[in-house]
A and B are shown apart, each in its own frame.
Chain A
Amino acid sequence: MRVNFTVNGRPQEADDVWEGESLLYVLRERMGLPGSKNACEQGECGSCTVRLDGVPVCSCLVAAGQVEGREVVTVEGLAEFAKDRAEHAGCAAGTCGTSLDAAKKWEAKPGQDSQTGEGVELSPIQQAFIDAGAVQCGFCTPGLLVAADEMLERNPSPTDADIREALSGNLCRCTGYEKILDAVRLAAARQERQGEAV
């Protein structure tokens, strides 16, 4: 079957999709967006978390056909998504996706000055994950970033218990989660400072 939907603001089309394929498979294998990770395919790890019409979901459990006409944000589009949100401060989840114009400028592999990606503009949560040492193997990172970013959108000043609850659907096997908590606290604090500056 054919499926049309918007990914990171850009209209996408996939052809010859097998009816049992998940959104995750379509993103990874058909759209060249392997940032969302396949770690369990049963909704028990959160590594494939994307936003579907603004809501964080496990993309492994969304049938490709269910996404027809809908909007998906993946880790690849997170920086742009967060930037757009910051620029239109206060807009609600799901309504502040990347505009079509902005999206058309978006590339899967943006130009950058080296292979480390140094110089790429990151969302606050992405930068905080690097700075706090929350990334080790990094396989859980994309899903955690999408989930954490959405939590900070809803709850800009979370308590530790709030962070733990919001991220309880995302497994990490490397870090013991301490530095992930540090990263979310750091992103929250930076966002708050940024907010005050504005």
Chain B
Amino acid sequence: MAGTTTGIPRDVTQNHVKGGIGESTLRPDGTLKVTGEFAYSSDMWHEDMLWGQILRSTVAHAEIVSIDTAEALAMDGVYAVLTHEDLPAAKNYGMEFQDTPVLAYGKVRHHGEPVVLVAADHPETARRAAAKVVIEYRELPVITDEASATAPDAILVHENRDDHHSGHVPHPNIVHRQPIIRGNADEAAKRADVIVKGEYTFGMQDQAFLGPESGLAVPAEDGGVDLYVATQWLHSDLKQIAPCLGLPEEKVRMTMAGVGGAFGGREDISMQILASILALRTGKPVKMVYNRYESFFGHVHRHPAKLYYEHGATKDGKLTHMKCKIVLDGGAYASSTASVVGNASSLSVGPYVIEDVEIEAIGLYTNNPPCGAMRGFGAVQACFAYEAQMDKLAAKLGMDPVELRQLNAMEQGTIMPTGQVVDSPAPVAELLRIVKARPMPPERQWETAGEGADVRALPGGLSNTSHGEGVVRGVGYAVGIKNVGFSEGFDDYSTAKIRIEVINGEAVATVHTAMAEVGQGGVTIHAQIARTELGVQQVTIHPADTQVGSAGSTSAGRQTYMTGGAIKNSCAIVREKVLEIGRRKFGSYHPAWANAELLLEGGKVVTDGGEALATIADVLEDQAVEVEEEWRHRPTQAFDLVTGQGDGHVQYAFAAHRAVVEVDTELGLVKVIELACAQDVGKALNPLSVIGQIQGGTTQGLGVAVMEEIIVDPKTAKVRNPSFTDYLIPTILDTPTIPVDYLELADPNAPYGVRGIGEAPTLSSTPAVLAAIRAATGLELNKTPVRPEALTGTL
């Protein structure tokens, strides 16, 4: 390839930073990120690169009658205009189901589906060319909800399904159905003194990561491609990309470019295959960068859901039974809908002890935008509904809502509806106690000394809508349960390659994994683990790529547990090898070398009594030790398709929130004043990062409570607000103080006792805010987000 690629990630070495596990070590990429030097996938550049552009469907459901690319192809500066007819190999891809076309053929199934692909020498040329392509559609009726999907005469979104769920689903427009039956809910209901029912609607949330989908594909001399992208899981991408390019996996060399946030939205493929096809076709490097509009169509969203719940309780507040049905809209392609259904179903009971349950969760195929992974993954929707139910129940029983929750809180040893025993700490009641015990934030913080109201502290903020008029405070609580790691029998593993060698007289460790650093601070933790396990100070983090085994996905709160576990494991093997070398060299000089409990600390081999036997440098000299090993968490089981029984989850995580809100009850505007969180983190490997994750997750939950929703027109299935002007996420003026208390109750099954932390705070944040708004307004509020219309009766 002529010229060079800029932005290729390189080794990152921390020379001056100390700190093993448990310390708030600073990020190894921090300086690069604050100086603008850190190269994100959209920063990749090559001097003679082309720009790729996608032409997407303008309708949601239609047969493609014809595509005319002639005029576009004839334009100066245009190098390729491709349709499905030009695809080199497999025409479909997908993570769990290979149902997603690389470029649409036959029909389009949702608004914004890729149909035509253009490469040109400037983005504007590419846009002008795309505008010259003529596509003729014959529109079809749209399927948008459960009723239209399962109607007797419903058009099938996908005909001839042959995926692993197609055999058991009640209708081909249902991706997956997971019931869970335990005990006898109908019988138990007879013991109930009060019963509450509710119907809840959860809106479609967007991950809204700030770094749009982007990357650079560079054709290689061996006919393969070098691909620099932002993703959550390189090896899952690779498995999907290679067949679509008709290349063996080793000819698709993927490197993780800088990732500008993910939150689940990068677990599926976006531009990876398309940029590669263009690069192979034109023989030139191709850069693709989605703009914000396209990004709303470029990744899956959080499943919108309808949830129907019934809970019963005795008059002293003991839950008798629960029945629920959860309908998740998966949109036009499956993505991870089946797993989201499994999660929603198995976590629908919440962190409560209920022995008699009747649960059903289904995921739909519709013509709405495809939905898949987002932080919280099926547990978020359920938590919103069961926590609303708890408040309703408490009100009906005349009980304190926190006491009701504590009375029914699960604990270690509780049996889940799936039959799985919760076999590590589950401090649900304690987390609620902690948030409740916090002092309340002061009232009327908008009042200033003589200068009128500070509108920045009021609902409406800078818009100057209230100087205190109509403002009512409310307080609400919620708690949630989230699984950690990949569940339902999935062979979930991670791989770590660890090398130790002596450079300039100092032992240096290199950590090489395929872990996607999406901002969570995995790279910080990796260096900390290597320091702790190998007793070195200098640690080099090798860029993540496909030259090492899979690390699995940066999702499901699993990466510190899994790749952290893999690094710990590989380090232990490296340590044994180093000691073996030491024993061979020095064993005859000191009897302590025979001791089985030798450690590596401070660059030395030391006994458990602290006696230094040799420096690592003396042991290794010019020898390097390198180990690449896979590491697995304990196996899980699939859920039975009829009863839902099975030890499906690896670990559970718990968080509780107390929300304090002030609502302008006349205008329906909300200001969240404080959103306190308490969470059990198992072991805080890096306390600063832990708190950052909890605060970030909390804020995403706040967003969906009061403003975030992708609005899809039910008549056309078209997205109405694909922009940051109309899809709003919280600004710093919408975000309250977020005090965090964390417990460190070790999970004996997990490395260092860690518990996945990223997701749980996203669950309980939303229902806590909703509960607080209900408390302030007295309204029922069964839908997220709460719009001003819902608070003012002006829908």
- Report how far A66 CA is from B590 CA in the complex, Å: 76
Cβ-defined contact, B210 with A116, below 8 A: no
| Residue in A38, A161, A179 with the greatest tally of chain B CB atoms within 10 Å | A38
Give the residues in chain B near A129, CB-CB below 8 Å.
30, 34
Asked if B75 CB lies within 8 Å of chain A CBs, one says no
Asked if B733 CB lies within 8 Å of chain A CBs, one says yes
Given A47-B210, A117-B35, A173-B208, the answer on whether A133 and B24 have CB atoms closer than 8 Å is yes
**What does the 1/0 interface line of B233-264 toward A look like (CB < 8 Å)?**
00000000000000000000000001111110
Cβ-defined contact, B26 with A178, below 8 A: no
* Stretch in contact with the other chain, from B10-18, B424-432, B644-652: B10-18
Given A75-B35, A117-B37, A171-B729, the answer on whether A137 and B518 have CB atoms closer than 8 Å is yes
**What does the 1/0 interface line of A163-182 toward B look like (CB < 8 Å)?**
11101111111111111110
Give the residues in chain B near A136, CB-CB below 8 Å.
261, 519-521, 692, 696
Cβ-defined contact, B36 with A76, below 8 A: yes
Cβ-defined contact, A35 with B519, below 8 A: no
**What does the 1/0 interface line of A31-63 toward B look like (CB < 8 Å)?**
011111111111011010000000000000000
- Report how far A74 CA is from B35 CA in the complex, Å: 10
In chain A between 69 and 101, which residues have their CB closer than 8 angstroms to a CB of chain B?
74-76, 78-79
- Report how far A76 CA is from B738 CA in the complex, Å: 31
Asked if A122 CB lies within 8 Å of chain B CBs, one says yes
Give the residues in chain B near A137, CB-CB below 8 Å.
209-211, 259-262, 518-519
- Report how far A35 CA is from B461 CA in the complex, Å: 31
**What does the 1/0 interface line of A127-143 toward B look like (CB < 8 Å)?**
10111010111111110
The SS class assigned to the B binding surface is loop
Cβ-defined contact, A36 with B263, below 8 A: no
Asked if B212 CB lies within 8 Å of chain A CBs, one says yes
Given A35-B35, A47-B210, A117-B31, the answer on whether A171 and B692 have CB atoms closer than 8 Å is no
Cβ-defined contact, A176 with B699, below 8 A: yes
Cβ-defined contact, B124 with A20, below 8 A: yes
Cβ-defined contact, A135 with B212, below 8 A: no
Cβ-defined contact, B462 with A168, below 8 A: yes
Given A38-B212, A136-B520, the answer on whether A181 and B292 have CB atoms closer than 8 Å is no
Of chain B, the residue at the smallest CB distance from A41 is B291
Asked if A113 CB lies within 8 Å of chain B CBs, one says yes
Give the residues in chain B near A139, CB-CB below 8 Å.
40, 209-211, 260-261, 519
Asked if B132 CB lies within 8 Å of chain A CBs, one says no
Number of chain B interface residues as a range: 35 or more
Kindly provide the distance from the CB of B495 to the nearest chain A CB, expressed in whole angstroms: 23
- Report how far A181 CA is from B725 CA in the complex, Å: 24
Cβ-defined contact, B292 with A42, below 8 A: yes
Kindly provide the distance from the CB of B34 to the nearest chain A CB, expressed in whole angstroms: 4
Of chain A, the residue at the smallest CB distance from B208 is A173
- Report how far A114 CA is from B17 CA in the complex, Å: 12
Cβ-defined contact, B210 with A180, below 8 A: no
Kindly provide the distance from the CB of A74 to the nearest chain B CB, expressed in whole angstroms: 7
In chain B between 18 and 52, which residues have their CB closer than 8 angstroms to a CB of chain A?
24, 26-40, 42-43, 45
- Report how far A116 CA is from B26 CA in the complex, Å: 11
Cβ-defined contact, B260 with A34, below 8 A: no
Kindly provide the distance from the CB of B676 to the nearest chain A CB, expressed in whole angstroms: 12
Cβ-defined contact, A116 with B29, below 8 A: yes
Cβ-defined contact, B732 with A34, below 8 A: no
- Report how far A177 CA is from B27 CA in the complex, Å: 17
Give the residues in chain A near B462, CB-CB below 8 Å.
165, 168
Asked if A194 CB lies within 8 Å of chain B CBs, one says no
- Report how far A169 CA is from B461 CA in the complex, Å: 13
- Report how far A47 CA is from B292 CA in the complex, Å: 12
Give the residues in chain B near A172, CB-CB below 8 Å.
210, 732
Give the residues in chain A near B289, CB-CB below 8 Å.
38
- Report how far A129 CA is from B691 CA in the complex, Å: 15
**What does the 1/0 interface line of A13-38 toward B look like (CB < 8 Å)?**
00000101100000011001111111
Give the residues in chain A near B34, CB-CB below 8 Å.
75, 122, 126-127, 129-130, 135, 138, 141-142, 145
Q: CB < 8 Å: which of B16, B28, B32, B733 contacts A164?
A: B733
Cβ-defined contact, A138 with B15, below 8 A: no
Of chain A, the residue at the smallest CB distance from B214 is A38
Q: CB < 8 Å: which of B26, B457, B695 contacts A179?
A: B695
| Residue in B31, B122, B700, B725 with the greatest tally of chain A CB atoms within 10 Å | B31
Give the residues in chain B near A29, CB-CB below 8 Å.
45
Given A145-B34, A168-B732, the answer on whether A138 and B29 have CB atoms closer than 8 Å is yes
- Report how far A79 CA is from B521 CA in the complex, Å: 24
Cβ-defined contact, B13 with A115, below 8 A: yes
Cβ-defined contact, B15 with A113, below 8 A: yes
Asked if B731 CB lies within 8 Å of chain A CBs, one says yes
Give the residues in chain B near A34, CB-CB below 8 Å.
7, 36, 39-40, 42-43, 45
- Report how far A85 CA is from B176 CA in the complex, Å: 62
Given A174-B261, A177-B732, the answer on whether A115 and B738 have CB atoms closer than 8 Å is no
Asked if B688 CB lies within 8 Å of chain A CBs, one says yes
Cβ-defined contact, A116 with B733, below 8 A: no
Asked if A120 CB lies within 8 Å of chain B CBs, one says yes
Of chain B, the residue at the smallest CB distance from A35 is B36
Kindly provide the distance from the CB of B468 to the nearest chain A CB, expressed in whole angstroms: 16
Asked if B173 CB lies within 8 Å of chain A CBs, one says no
Asked if B456 CB lies within 8 Å of chain A CBs, one says yes
Of chain A, the residue at the smallest CB distance from B694 is A176
Give the residues in chain B near A18, CB-CB below 8 Å.
122, 124
Kindly provide the distance from the CB of A180 to the nearest chain B CB, expressed in whole angstroms: 7
Cβ-defined contact, B260 with A37, below 8 A: yes
| Residue in A120, A133, A181 with the greatest tally of chain B CB atoms within 10 Å | A133
In chain B between 414 and 466, which residues have their CB closer than 8 angstroms to a CB of chain A?
454, 456-457, 461-462
- Report how far A76 CA is from B40 CA in the complex, Å: 15
In chain B between 481 and 529, which residues have their CB closer than 8 angstroms to a CB of chain A?
518-521
- Report how far A117 CA is from B259 CA in the complex, Å: 19
Give the residues in chain A near B7, CB-CB below 8 Å.
34
Of chain B, the residue at the smallest CB distance from A108 is B37
- Report how far A175 CA is from B456 CA in the complex, Å: 20
- Report how far A27 CA is from B263 CA in the complex, Å: 29
Q: CB < 8 Å: which of B28, B29, B40, B208 contacts A37?
A: B40
Cβ-defined contact, A133 with B13, below 8 A: no
Asked if B412 CB lies within 8 Å of chain A CBs, one says no
Asked if A109 CB lies within 8 Å of chain B CBs, one says yes
Give the residues in chain B near A178, CB-CB below 8 Å.
691, 695, 735, 737-738
Asked if B66 CB lies within 8 Å of chain A CBs, one says no
Between A and B, 15 residue pairs with Cβ closer than 8 Å are A75-B35, A114-B14, A120-B31, A135-B34, A136-B692, A137-B262, A138-B34, A139-B40, A140-B210, A142-B34, A168-B461, A172-B210, A175-B695, A177-B735, A179-B695
Other contacts beyond A35-B35, A115-B10: 8, CB < 8 A = A39-B211, A39-B260, A118-B14, A133-B24, A136-B692, A138-B258, A168-B733, A179-B695
Closest 10 CB pairs of A and B: A35-B36, A137-B519, A117-B31, A139-B260, A138-B33, A176-B695, A176-B699, A44-B724, A136-B519, A34-B43
Which residue numbers of A lie inside 8 Å of B, CB to CB? 18, 20-21, 28-29, 32-42, 44-45, 47, 74-76, 78-79, 109, 113-120, 122, 126-127, 129-131, 133, 135-142, 145, 161, 163-165, 167-181
Which residue numbers of B lie inside 8 Å of A, CB to CB? 6-7, 10-17, 24, 26-40, 42-43, 45, 122, 124, 207-212, 258-263, 289, 291-292, 454, 456-457, 461-462, 518-521, 688-689, 691-692, 695-700, 723-725, 729, 731-733, 735, 737-738
